[in-house]
Structures are given as C-alpha cells and as structure tokens.
Amino acid sequence: MRRSDPYSGEAWGENPARSTEIPYVSNIERYSGFSGTNLSKEKSADEDHDVNNTTTDGAKSSNSIFSRFYTTLRRLKTYIFGDRRAIDTIPIPIFIVFLLLIVGVLVWKYSASGLNTEDENEIQLPAFVFEHPYVSSSYYLSTKSLKTLENLELKQVQPKKDQLSGKRIPGKDFTRETTTRLAIVRPFCKFDAGPLPTTFECWQSFPPCKAAAYELGEGFDEENWSMNNTEKDFDQVGSHMLKDAKADVFLFYSQTFSENDEAIEAVDTILDQYFEGGGWADCFDNIYVIEANIPPELDNYSPAQQETFYNWVNGPNRQFEAAVRIIQSGEWGEFDGFYLMEGDSIPIKSYWLDVVLSEIEMNRPFAIMGAKYNGDKWDNFYEQIPISLLDHTNGNAIYNTSHPLLERLVGQLEVEAPCPYNSIPYDYRMSQMWIEGTNTTMTRYYYFYFQ
C-alpha cells in the first residue's frame, strides 16, 4: 500500500475510494507523541523564532543558543505534561525552578542512600575505646576487627574493672601485689609491621615463663630454679614470676595506626593469638597497643646514608624517647621499667622472661641494664674504636624509668633532636654522655657534619 502518488497531484483524502484506508503513521509520530502536523508547526514556530532573533552578526550566535535552549525546554515541558496547550500557560522560569527541585531531590536521595550504606558498613565500637587509656591510641578506633575488640573487652578490660571494684573473677588476678612490674615494649615501624606477628611464633617455641611451660606441657627442675641455689648459671636464675612479678606487652608503632592498615592488621593478628589463651599469653597480664605519632617524613632509619644524611636515625631516636615518656606517664599502669625488645630480638631459650625478672631483682637499683657487643666484626680495628662505642649498651636493654640518670640522659637526647648529634643512635649517644660525664671531657664527633 502506497501513501499518495507524488506525481498525481492528489492530496490525502481527495480520492473517496482511498479515504477509508488507514493513514500511514511514522515511527517518530508513533513513539514521540507528536503528529506530523504538530512537528511541522513546531518546526515553523522555531524557525520564525530564530528569524526574529537573528538581526545582527554579533547577536546571531547568542540568539541561536538561547533559541535552542528555549526550544528544548518547550519540548521537555511537552514531554512531561503531554498537553501542549496546557503547558503554554507555565512560564519558563517557573519550569526551570521545577526542574531544579527535581534534580535536588534526586541528588539528596542518592546521597542519603550512600550515607546509609557507609553507616551499615561501620562497626559498632565498644565503649572502652573512647575511654582512657585506650583512646590515646588510634589503633582502637581504627581497627575493623570487631572480634578483636570484643575479646579485648571480654577478657581484659571488663575483668580488670570488675576486680578493681572488688568482684572475684576467675582467671588472671589483676589486683595481686607485686614487687616488680615490667613492660615488654615491642617497637616496630612501617617497613617491619607485616612480619611482626611471626616474631611471636618464637615465643611459642621458647615460652617466656614457667606458667607458659606448664600450659605447653614442658617440664623443668624446680630445684634448679630456686633463688637459694647459688651454683646455678645464667640460664637457671630463679624467679618469683608466679608470685610477685607482673609483665605487660606493649605493641609500639613508630607512626600513627590510623594511617597504616598493614600495621593495624598485624596487631589484630597478635591480639587474636593472645586472647586465644595458653602458651606465651599466660606470662602476661595485659597487652596494649601504643604509638609514637612520628610524621612519616621524619620516621627515618637509613644506615646506608649515615655519612651523608644527619637525620638517618631520627625514627628510632624519637621512638625511644616516646617509649620512655609513655611508660613514665603511668597512663597504662605503674611500671618499674621496660624491656625494649626490638623485632629482630629473638629468644633462643625458654623462660627468658623469668631470667629477665630475676636479673632485675638481683641488680637493682640501676638506670640501664643490658649487654655490650660481644661479636668479632670489630677485631681488625678494635684499638681504633672509641671507649664510648666499645662500652655502650645495646639498645635492647632494660630501662629503669624512675632512675634520675636515665631521666637526664633522655632529656639531653630530646634537647639534641634538632642538632647534628641526632645523627648518632640513641644507645651510642647515651654512652658518649656517660663517658663525657665521668671523664669530664667532650667525646670526639666522628660524623660527617664536623669534618
């Protein structure tokens, strides 16, 4: 069926024989709602409008843009309201406001749904993370492990509160009197955060104390561990660990936990292992997570640059000072001192914590107790090494935070932080200070700054 013969001069409907046929409707007319007549009228009106607004070359472009914009709005109005005669009574400005309101509602609904999704993903933190001392560490507010926080509250925070309030709670006795309370500080930085949990696996192989040995089923000779046995060697020093000594573990990050997910996950792993109970966990009353908040750009440790970059060891120096001040503050409890146990300090014998506690009892009072270097790397130039380096105590040592000498040494380190002496590791620098004080002479400065 043809529409009309373009060469016959007939218009649609002039031939009665063909007037009963169904008129052809194009796809545009069928799906847009505009008839061919309406489209042609719309086009004619648009053209008239364009002609009336194109008077000069300077105004032609702007009028053309306005005309298109105006036409688009009219068509949009027709699409929304359907009846073109009705929508002609709606002014364009009001229609624009109407569109803006619709867009605003859609944006608001989208934003609200996004916020609801985020709220659903956030975990409900226990109340203790907003209390002291836990609120002073960003770890407790940043971890995504609700299981870890719940175990911490159930097995450490709440039992301790209950016992301090006079209730009898089975398990660890947080209220028993002690003669020695030691903090085991495990410092770590950004690049060794990941391997940190593996260092605690050695504590299962070599239990820190006899309590852990009982748990792991390992036997020992009680007589050899008696304090009255004067023929024992270092590996058989007695301990009152189970009677009047306590120890807590501190996982100590050099920067800020909230800025490092890897550090948070490493600590989650260690805490989960601790709260499983048994093994090395039985040797410690509490486990805490603290931070030094050293800015990343200042947390430097680069031995390869020690002769060209005076700030090469700034990270460990500042972290050591922070450890002393945190333990001294008493916010996490009252301690006699702390054992700085770096990540590469690995026990090789069982009951090492009992030995450390016994050594503290037998050698107090002291400011710093540790060991000197006993290797053979210095043999070829031994005579050229200054006495302050030969006799310096390794940084993995026990520090008596109440001793006035340690206070003076750490205070001087803090004063020297912006000085060239900051290029000397804190343990060696404290040895220099001691030599200077005892000999009343200045230690020769061997680093590049004064060369």
391 token code pair: 């006799």
Q: Which residues pair with 393 in a beta bridge?
A: 372
pLDDT in tens, 46-88: 445 444 444 455 555 556 666 766 676 666 656 565 555 555 5
The answer to whether residue 443 scores a pLDDT higher than 90 is no
In the chain, the percentage of residues whose pLDDT exceeds 90 is 45
**pLDDT band (50, 70, 90) for residue 34:** very low
Q: Please report the pLDDT score of residue 121 as a whole number.
A: 55
pLDDT in tens, 348-383: 999 999 989 988 988 989 999 999 888 788 888 888
pLDDT in tens, 88-116: 555 667 667 777 877 888 888 777 665 55
First to last CA, the chain: 105
| Domains assigned to the chain | 26-117 (no CATH), 127-450 (3.90.550)
The answer to whether residue 219 scores a pLDDT higher than 50 is no
**Average pLDDT over every residue of 232-241:** 48
State the pTM of this model: 0.69
Q: Please report the pLDDT score of residue 301 as a whole number.
A: 95
The answer to whether residue 344 scores a pLDDT higher than 60 is yes
Q: Please report the pLDDT score of residue 31 as a whole number.
A: 44
Q: Please report the pLDDT score of residue 60 as a whole number.
A: 54
CA-wise closest residue to 388 among 408, 409, 360 = 409
Give the lowest-confidence range in 40-44, 258-262, 334-338. Answer: 40-44
Q: Which of 76-85, 121-130, 224-233, 313-322 has the highest mean pLDDT?
A: 313-322
Q: What b/e sequence results for 416-449 when a residue is b if at least 16 CB atoms lie within 10 Å of its CB, and e otherwise? A: beeeebbbbbbbbbbbbbbbeeeeeeebeeeeee
pLDDT in tens, 270-298: 999 999 988 899 999 999 999 999 999 99
| 292 CB-contact burial (10 Å; exposed 0-12 / middle 13-18 / buried 19+) | buried
**Average pLDDT over every residue of 130-149:** 96
**Average pLDDT over every residue of 144-165:** 94
339 token code pair: 């054992």
Q: Please report the pLDDT score of residue 196 as a whole number.
A: 95
